[in-house]
Structure 1
């Protein structure tokens, strides 16, 4: 639903067996698991496929529903980032834009702003947002969300990607109606 965000434009292609899918990207590549031959290279990559002969079993994926869990899971542990070292190591710096519904009847309906953020730590990002918003509540009551699908909010629970694309965050506060609508995946469910 967001053609301006190329990183998330994937589509499912049924495999020959019908039990798995290939995850195709709009740039004519498929998601491929790594690690079969080089055990140290155990991530994923996008591999271009010119014809069906290029498809390997390392490109087959199973799609399973993930049930919701009660409450927000803990965020990944904070990462330490020393600014001069980060600049030397070319750590990703990205523009963060945020919107925050304001409950103050005398103020604007929505507060918004932007800032540059170094690194990938979602834990550090939440603390930075709380500081910039002057949040008087417990920082753990602040939930960062991304807009997906048709106006649906999805909580940001993992560290940021390695790219430098601008990230637009909708801030939701625990105990609000918007917070009650959020769903969290239970990735450890059986």
Structure 2
């Protein structure tokens, strides 16, 4: 599994589909795209050894959830999905990789429970091309929130008052579970707190969490990470929140701390 160094990022291209594997923003589904370049298509590599066997795990560089497989009893098939990594005994997130037998550099990926990833009902393994994503030297700037939609003035006939129409401002509302970690990234699981947040802007979320933590004057001093289970690794939150109202779990690190310096930022804009 030399194609998957620990804590690196990769694109996963499926030869049979001529497409890259993407994590849907809902944190559950998987999609395919002919183009790369978005954070949803980047996967962080998590290596571990269990019972003497080497495994590779993949978690999305967007919101941190782990690639996994689930069975569908109705048709005895299985699907790729995203999930949290909550138990050290969890097997649906464990994968192994080997070289294809056709002499190419393609990879065959198999799940510990379900076996090879196949592209048909005859059990023909998918061929994967692994493309390394270089790291960024510095964390990227968070996207600036968009300007609000301005009030519109509707022209009226002479003698009538002008009418101002305020366009509807549709704001998503969600609960943010957050916890402050120490410089090594450790935190007390009993210290999770709640914040009711409106909108999707990660820029504004960082501001609001800094205020909630009593650090409003040092917004740049905190780094937000998505938390995807008690056994999962932290993923720096770099893009706006999904267009839904699902609860998100956020671990707050101190910028520049040892834990924050361990974070790796994929350069998805690299050629």
Shorter-chain TM range is 0.5 to 0.7
Deviation track 1:130-160 (CA, whole Å, cap 9, x = no partner) reads 0000016621121100124843111000011
Alignment of 1:30-179 (within 5 A): 30-31=31-32, 64-80=131-147, 89-102=169-182, 111-135=191-215, 138-148=218-228, 150-179=231-260
Are 1:185 and 2:266 an aligned pair? Answer: yes
More strand by share: 2
Secondary structure of residue in 2 paired with 1:124: helix
Q: Which has the larger radius of gyration?
A: 2
TM superposition shift of 1:64: 3.3
Relative to the length of structure 1, the TM-score reads 0.60
Alpha-carbon contact 2:145-2:204 (below 8 Å) kept: yes
3-state secondary structure, aligned to 1:161: coil
- Report the CA distance shift for 1:122/1:15 in structure 2 as closer, same or farther (over 3 A): same
TM-score by length of 2: 0.44
| Distance across 2 between alignment mates of 1:72 and 1:28 | 27
TM-superposed CA distance for 1:99, in Å, is 0.8
RMSD between superposed Cα atoms in Å: 3.8
* Structure 2 unmatched runs, 5+: 1-11, 35-118, 121-127, 150-165
The CA distance in 1 between the partners of 2:258 and 2:134, in whole Å, is: 21
8 Å contact 2:223–2:255 — kept in the other structure?
Answer: yes
**Which structure 1 segments of 5+ residues have no match?**
1-11, 34-50, 53-60
Q: 1:109 to 1:71 in 2, by over 3 A?
A: same
Please give the alpha-carbon distance, in whole angstroms, between the structure 2 residues aligned to 1:126 and 1:29: 28
- Distance in 2, Cα, partners of 1:74 & 1:182: 15
Q: Report the 3-state secondary structure (helix = DSSP H, G, I; strand = E; otherwise coil) of the residue aligned with 1:71.
A: coil
> Aligned residue for 2:7?
none
Are the structure 2 counterparts of residues 93 and 183 from structure 1 closer, same or farther at C-alpha, using a change threshold of 3 Å? same
Q: Which has the higher helix share?
A: 1
